[in-house]
Chains A and B, each alone.
Chain A
Amino acid sequence: MAIRVLVVDDAMFMRSMIKDILVNAGGRYEIVGEASNGREAIARFRELNPELVTMDIVMPQLDGIEATREILKVDPAAVIVMCSAMGQEALVVESISAGAKDFIVKPFTSDRVLQVLAKVLPGAGGGSAAP
Chain B
Amino acid sequence: METADFLDLFISEAREHIEGQAALLARAGSSSLEREEINDLFRHAHSVKGMAAAMGFASMSALAHAMEDLLHQWRDGVFGSTPGSIELLTRANDLLSAQVDALVAHQEIPSGDEIGRQIRSLCSPSEDRPQAAAGAAAAPHGTDEPAAEAVDTRPRLLVDIAIRQGAPLPGARAMVILKRLEEHGQVLEVSPAPQILAAGKFNGRLRVVLASRIAPDRVATLAGGLADVAACQVTPAAPPEDQGGDPERRVAARRTLPDRQDEETGESTARAEAITTIRVPTERMDHLLDGIGELILDRERLKRALEADPGSEAAEILEGLGRTVDALKDEVMTIRLLPFSSIVPRLERAVRELASRLGKEVELVVRGTEVSLDRSTLEEMMDPLQHILRNCIDHGLEGSEERRGAGKSARGRIEIDLSRRDERVCLAVSDDGRGMDPEALRRVAVERRYLSREIAMRLSDEEALMLVTIPGFSTATRTTDISGRGVGMDVVRMRVQKLGGHLIIRSQTGNGTRLEMDLPPTVTVTRAFLCRAEGGIYAVPVSAVQATFEVRRDIVQASQGERVLRRGDDLVTVLPLGGVLAGDRAAPFPDAFPALQYQVGKRTYALGVDEILGEELIVVKPLRHPLELLPQYAGAAILNDGEIALIVDPVNLTRTSRQP
> Is A96 in contact with B172, judged by CB distance below 8 angstroms?
yes
The residue in chain B whose Cβ has the minimal distance to the Cβ of A57 is: B46
| B355 CB within 8 Å of chain A | no
Q: A13-B10, A13-B13, A127-B180 are in contact. Are A97 and B51 (CB under 8 A)?
A: no
Q: A17-B1, A86-B168, A92-B175 are in contact. Are A97 and B50 (CB under 8 A)?
A: no
0/1 per residue, B214-242, Cβ < 8 Å to A? 10000000100111000000000000000
The listed residue (B53, B133, B199, B277) touching A106 by CB distance below 8 A is B53
| B185 CB within 8 Å of chain A | yes
**Docked complex Cα distance between A126 and B227 (Å):** 9
The listed residue (A17, A21, A105, A128) touching B169 by CB distance below 8 A is A105
List, in ascending order, chain B residues with CB within 8 A of A131's CB. Answer: 183-185, 212-214
0/1 per residue, A86-103, Cβ < 8 Å to B? 111111111011000111
**Docked complex Cα distance between A107 and B54 (Å):** 4
Q: A13-B13, A85-B53, A116-B227 are in contact. Are A90 and B200 (CB under 8 A)?
A: yes
Q: A58-B46, A106-B54, A110-B1 are in contact. Are A89 and B171 (CB under 8 A)?
A: yes
**Docked complex Cα distance between A97 and B176 (Å):** 9
> Is A24 in contact with B13, judged by CB distance below 8 angstroms?
no
0/1 per residue, B163-197, Cβ < 8 Å to A? 00000110110011001100111000000001001
**Docked complex Cα distance between A24 and B1 (Å):** 9
| B616 CB within 8 Å of chain A | no
List, in ascending order, chain A residues with CB within 8 A of B169's CB. Answer: 84, 86, 88-89, 92, 103, 105
A35 to chain B, nearest CB (A): 15
| A121 CB within 8 Å of chain B | no
**Docked complex Cα distance between A103 and B227 (Å):** 10
A39 to chain B, nearest CB (A): 14
The residue in chain A whose Cβ has the minimal distance to the Cβ of B57 is: A107
List, in ascending order, chain B residues with CB within 8 A of A119's CB. Answer: 225-227
| A125 CB within 8 Å of chain B | yes
0/1 per residue, A57-69, Cβ < 8 Å to B? 0111000000000
Q: A17-B1, A90-B133, A96-B172 are in contact. Are A11 and B47 (CB under 8 A)?
A: yes
> Is A90 in contact with B128, judged by CB distance below 8 angstroms?
yes
**Docked complex Cα distance between A33 and B362 (Å):** 34
The listed residue (A103, A115, A125) touching B172 by CB distance below 8 A is A103
Contact residues, A17-70 vs B (CB, 8 A)? 17, 20-21, 24, 58-60
List, in ascending order, chain B residues with CB within 8 A of A127's CB. Answer: 180, 183-184, 222, 226
> Is B54 in contact with A93, judged by CB distance below 8 angstroms?
no
List, in ascending order, chain A residues with CB within 8 A of B194's CB. Answer: 93
List, in ascending order, chain A residues with CB within 8 A of B200's CB. Answer: 87, 89-90
A103 to chain B, nearest CB (A): 6
Q: A17-B1, A24-B1, A90-B133 are in contact. Are A84 and B172 (CB under 8 A)?
A: yes
Q: A94-B132, A96-B179 are in contact. Are A13 and B276 (CB under 8 A)?
A: no
**Docked complex Cα distance between A24 and B2 (Å):** 12
| A14 CB within 8 Å of chain B | yes
| A129 CB within 8 Å of chain B | yes
List, in ascending order, chain B residues with CB within 8 A of A59's CB. Answer: 43
List, in ascending order, chain B residues with CB within 8 A of A92's CB. Answer: 169, 172, 175
Number of interface residues of B (CB under 8 A): 55
List, in ascending order, chain A residues with CB within 8 A of B168's CB. Answer: 86, 105
Q: A92-B169, A131-B213 are in contact. Are A86 and B273 (CB under 8 A)?
A: yes
| A12 CB within 8 Å of chain B | yes
**Docked complex Cα distance between A126 and B175 (Å):** 15
How many inter-chain residue pairs (CB < 8 Å) link A and B?
Answer: 138
Range, interface on chain A:
35 or more
The residue in chain B whose Cβ has the minimal distance to the Cβ of A90 is: B132
B195 to chain A, nearest CB (A): 10
**Docked complex Cα distance between A82 and B56 (Å):** 21
List, in ascending order, chain A residues with CB within 8 A of B175's CB. Answer: 92-93, 96-97
List, in ascending order, chain B residues with CB within 8 A of A88's CB. Answer: 169
List, in ascending order, chain A residues with CB within 8 A of B136's CB. Answer: 90, 93-94, 97
0/1 per residue, B31-56, Cβ < 8 Å to A? 00000000110110011011101111
> Is B199 in contact with A89, judged by CB distance below 8 angstroms?
yes
| B260 CB within 8 Å of chain A | no
**Docked complex Cα distance between A87 and B45 (Å):** 14
> Is A102 in contact with B227, judged by CB distance below 8 angstroms?
yes
| B453 CB within 8 Å of chain A | no
Most buried by B among A10, A88, A108: A88
List, in ascending order, chain A residues with CB within 8 A of B227's CB. Answer: 102, 115-116, 119
The residue in chain B whose Cβ has the minimal distance to the Cβ of A82 is: B172
B466 to chain A, nearest CB (A): 44
> Is B171 in contact with A16, judged by CB distance below 8 angstroms?
no
A10 to chain B, nearest CB (A): 7
**Docked complex Cα distance between A101 and B46 (Å):** 23
List, in ascending order, chain A residues with CB within 8 A of B133's CB. Answer: 90
**Docked complex Cα distance between A106 and B169 (Å):** 11
The residue in chain B whose Cβ has the minimal distance to the Cβ of A83 is: B50
**Docked complex Cα distance between A20 and B199 (Å):** 32
Q: A60-B43, A106-B50, A131-B184 are in contact. Are A93 and B172 (CB under 8 A)?
A: yes
| B252 CB within 8 Å of chain A | no
List, in ascending order, chain A residues with CB within 8 A of B39's CB. Answer: 60
Q: A21-B1, A97-B175 are in contact. Are A85 and B46 (CB under 8 A)?
A: yes
List, in ascending order, chain B residues with CB within 8 A of A86's CB. Answer: 53, 168-169, 273
The listed residue (B6, B179, B212) touching A13 by CB distance below 8 A is B6
B486 to chain A, nearest CB (A): 41
**Docked complex Cα distance between A90 and B199 (Å):** 6
**Docked complex Cα distance between A97 and B140 (Å):** 8
> Is A14 in contact with B50, judged by CB distance below 8 angstroms?
yes
**Docked complex Cα distance between A17 and B273 (Å):** 20
> Is A102 in contact with B276, judged by CB distance below 8 angstroms?
no
**Docked complex Cα distance between A69 and B84 (Å):** 39
The listed residue (A84, A90, A128) touching B129 by CB distance below 8 A is A90
0/1 per residue, B115-143, Cβ < 8 Å to A? 00000000000001100110110011000
A-B contact pairs, 6 of them (CB 8 A): A87-B65, A90-B132, A90-B133, A115-B227, A127-B222, A129-B222
Question: Nearest 5 CB-CB pairs, A to B?
Answer: A90-B132, A92-B172, A107-B54, A105-B168, A127-B180
Beyond the given A13-B51, A89-B198, A105-B168, could you list 9 further A-B residue pairs with CB under 8 A, ordered by the A residue number? A24-B1, A84-B172, A86-B168, A91-B129, A92-B169, A97-B140, A101-B179, A107-B54, A116-B227
Binding site for B on A (CB under 8 A): 10-14, 16-17, 20-21, 24, 58-60, 84-94, 96-97, 101-103, 105-110, 115-116, 119, 125-129, 131
